[in-house]
Structure 1
Amino acid sequence: MTTPAAAAAAAATAASTRANSLSRIFSSSSPVISPPKRSPKTKRAPTPTPTPKPPAADAGSIADEKPPKPVGAQPAAKAESNAKHKLPKPLGIILKALIRQRDPDKLVSDFVQASTVSSRFRDRHRVFEVAVSRLNSLGRQDGIEAIIEAQMPFLETSAEGFAARLIRLYGRASMPSHAAATFHKLPAQHKSTMTFNSVLSAYADAGDFDGLTAAFQEIPATHPSIVPTVYSYNVLIHALCQKPDISAALDAVHLMEKHGIPPDIITFNTLLNGFCNNGRVHEAETVWEMIKERNLEPDAKCYNAKLRGLVAEGRIDDAAAVLERLEKDGPKPDTVSYNELIRGYCKAGRLQEAKKLYDDLVKNECTPNKGTYETLLPQLLQAGELDCALTYCYKIFSDKRNLRVECGVLQDVVNALVDVSRVEEAAKIVVLGRKKYYPRKGLRMPDRTKDSELRAETDEEEAISEEEECEVEHETEK
């Protein structure tokens, strides 16, 4: 029988082997994970209680770094019992008030207070995302840090998913070094493959692909119990596909198979997109052969990458043949499949074929999306086909999914209608846009409109306030 000591030794050996294999794949210039930088000297957001800051680590790698002591020593129950006040209002009212809050200092202080006294509040994912997104847009990384650090005392008694969410929030705010530092501060039971994957995702969300590859090497090397999964490798492969030499991404596939982790179709989707987006369509055939060798069934996303590559090379007829074959033999093409070829037809000046493909998209039970309309409408305006452009606008506004086509695209339609004296039709687009919550400053009758009375009438059709718009988005995303 294997003793615990022997098992630990075997895990350590496996981690060492994994690190050695990875070092041969990654460029020697891959950086180590840097400690988080101090937030810019902006106005500090006040917090009701002092919160710990990320450790001021040196520039050494994670492998040489001593993980800081977990800050989850204070049990969540004790932290809540020590809070001076319970929630002063019903949770729903507090959530709405926070979502509407525009003062960053008040947002941080109210958020920290509510999250400190209510576990139900801490379970509300959306309010965390809204707060972090808003603070990030205002450049208040110090406020984001305060909000996330305030949750650390509750980690000891929280589920693993809570820790993973906190790490991902740093990725959404483009603060991946803070995500890595948070991982090291987790209680021992939360240093797991799930939270490791969250660190990788945080680096991916922030676009720090060199940091991601460094984290992939260093964290499992220092935590032998953490074993990368197919998800881990897929995130890694996506990062390697961003490098000038994406052959390392192929090597990563062989590495994962060497460690007994079979690649899935997402792995190959990622590779195909990597090759095709880099203009290496011919080399992508190697990936197709790998798919066949492993008896995997390519899905529509695989073929979408092929369509994208063919269109990028100007091989529009070849792309059309691929789509026609999919319609007959499967897998069934999706909206993206049609969009790729529509984009190709428009780029080649073959607008009538693009319009026919739009009709085929609808006929084949796919649904046009914002990409469809954002590709077609400018081409229709350029060709002077205002009637068709107007019809597509009405379809956008009648779509129950509340499509958010770029405001500027719709404004171009309004301007074109006004230019040919179709003022009432232009005004109707503006009014419909207001009902779909397009802002006044983004969609309006142009100042050159002769009928000032009509322009004033559309201006009175106020869009809902920013606060209410945020609340509507919150309700629709539940």
Structure 2
Amino acid sequence: MSSSVCRRLHGLFATAKTTSLPKPPKATIFHVSPAVSSDPPTDKTLTALVAKFKKNSSSNHFRRHGHKAYVNTVRRLAAANKQSYIDEILQHQKRYPNITNEGFTAQLISLYGKSGMFDQAHKLFDEMPQLNCDRTVMSFNALLSACMNSKKFDKISELSSELPEKLPIKPDTVSYNPVVKAFCEMGSIGSGLLVVNEIEKSGVQPDLITFNTLLDALYRNDRFEEAEKVWGLMQEKNVVPDGRSYTAKIRALMAGKRISEAVEVFQKMGSKGVKPDAFTFNALIKGFCDDENLEEAKRWCEEMLKNDCKPDNVTYRILGYHACDKGDFEYALKLCKEAMSRRCLVGSPLMQLVLAGLVKESKMEEAKELMELGKSNSFFQYKVEWPSDE
């Protein structure tokens, strides 16, 4: 990153600091998948998990191919707010020769970041020379992502402007995307737009992630005119929009009750050969539910299936709660049963609401069926109680 660009970015971030920043999270940054049991793991269970992981780490095959095990173990510990245990198992990795491999160490930096442990991520990055591990743009990008995941938006200024000048690192497009994201998260979208111009001066081109980040932020803030300019810039740079690009616009249009325009955008996606995903359909379904049009929301759920797109947790919750609100408990029951068959979590509160509605309408057989399904479900254990007589 050139000195002039660094100074420009530093100045931009200094300006953005006047915006109130989100407080760093006290708990996990991971999106934790629900466990089979809703009971929290005991310290004894987690201690055993740590011991087993450290034992498995002695296997070179595990260290080379066990990425999923690393992620899942750290996720479980983060969900239990056991940052000291996370540090223990990641520090343990330093004893193995893999630590000299930048890809392996970058993975550890990333895991720290996803747990909200940026200081530890930064410390490991600083220690890499002593660990005989090269630092290139790969580990630099991992550090920037750790900074973003830890919600340390203001620190990205320091990292992106100072480290490339101190180290023989040439930032790439991936390096700049967290910078743009940080500005957007701090409410300084205009500065994020300026970064696009600055990075081009460094010989780096913005990519689809860059533009989607900007589109998402602009549409969330109802800045449609500026968003259209970003679409024009994408066309100019030959960056092809994807489902996320269109979904951001659809979500904003539906939120603004501009339903016909949102449907037109959906149709345009099809004409451009862009396949909608669950996020796209959920935006439409939520919009119709917010518009008190349950029947149209149902239709779009059916359309979702016709497009070989599976409903997810969000789909079932949006439709389930709105169906209950409309008194359509039979449809809500259908959704709960379908969700369980697809291993989608609808949550005990929704199950309880559906159960109460069925009992109120004297549909006892259906209510008993739902309660038994909730208790016997092998994937999620729902805590659902029979409604008390009033």
**TM-score when normalising by structure 2:** 0.84
- The residue type equivalent to 1:152 in the other structure is K
Task: Tell me, yes or no, if the aligned pair for 1:200 and 1:212 is still in contact at 8 Å.
Answer: yes
Whole-angstrom CA distance in 1 between matches of 2:247 and 2:162: 34
**How many residue pairs end up in the alignment?**
365
Superposition deviation, residue 353 in structure 1: 1.5
Task: Select the residue among 154, 169, 179 that pairs with 2:96.
Answer: 154
Q: Which residue of 2 aligns with 1:212?
A: 156
**Mapping of residues 13-162 of structure 1, within 5 Å:** 15-28=2-15, 102-115=44-57, 117-123=58-64, 124-154=66-96, 158-162=100-104
Change over 3 Å in CA distance of 1:122–1:244 after alignment to 2 = same
The CA deviation at 1:148 is 1.7
Sort the Cα spacing of 1:333 and 1:125 in 2 relative to 1 into closer, same or farther, 3 A: closer
Question: What is the rounded CA distance, in whole Å, between the counterparts of 2:147 and 2:367 in structure 1?
Answer: 45
- Following superposition, the deviation at residue 103 of structure 1 comes to 3.8
For residue 352 of structure 2, the aligned residue among 404, 408, 411 is 411
Q: Deviations over 1:71-122 (max 9, x none)?
A: xxxxxxxxxxxxxxxxxxxxxxxxxxxx99844444445544553x433343
Aligned-partner Cα distance in 1 for 2:385–2:366: 11
What does 1:352-391 correspond to in 2, within 5 Å?
A: 352-391=295-334
1:233 deviates by: 1.5
**Do the aligned residues in 1 keep the contact of 2:269 with 2:276 (CA within 8 Å)?**
yes
* Distance verdict in 2 for CA 1:159–1:258, change over 3 Å: same
User: 2:216 is matched with which residue?
Assistant: 273
Q: Counterparts of 1:213-362 in structure 2 under 5 Å?
A: 213-223=157-167, 225-362=168-305
Could you tell me which of 356, 360, 380 is aligned with 1:438?
A: 380
> Which moves more between the two structures, 389-398 or 149-158?
149-158
- Structure 2 residue runs of 5 or longer lacking an equivalent are 19-25, 27-40
> Is the CA contact 1:246–1:274 (under 8 Å) kept in the aligned structure 2?
yes
In 1: Cα distance, 2:85 partner to 2:273 partner: 50
Change (3 A) 1:331 1:138: closer
Alignment RMSD (CA, Å): 2.7
Q: Secondary structure at the match of 2:185?
A: coil
Instruction: Give 4+ residue runs of structure 1 displaced > 6 Å after superposition.
Output: none
**TM-superposed deviation, 1:357:** 1.6
CA distance 1:279–1:407, change in 2 (3 Å) = farther
CA 1:133–1:426: 2 relative to 1, 3 Å = same
What is the distance in 1 between the residues matched to 2:328 and 2:292? 14
In structure 2, the residue matched to 1:66 is none
Contact map agreement 2:2 2:202 (CA 8 A) in 1:
no
* Distance in 2, Cα, partners of 1:126 & 1:366: 25
> Aligned pair in 2 of structure 1 residues 210, 133: CA closer, same or farther (>3 Å)?
same
Determine which structure has the larger helix proportion and give its number: 2
How far apart are residue 30 of structure 1 and its match? 5.2
Deviations 1:374-410 (A, max 9, x none): 11111111111122222222322332xx222333223
AA aligned opposite 1:23: H
Contact 1:30 1:213 (8 Å CA) reproduced: no
- 1:241 is displaced (CA, Å) by 0.9
Alignment match, 1:197: 141
CA distance in 2, matches of 1:327, 1:199: 38
Within the candidate set 175, 179, 182, 2:117 is matched to: 175
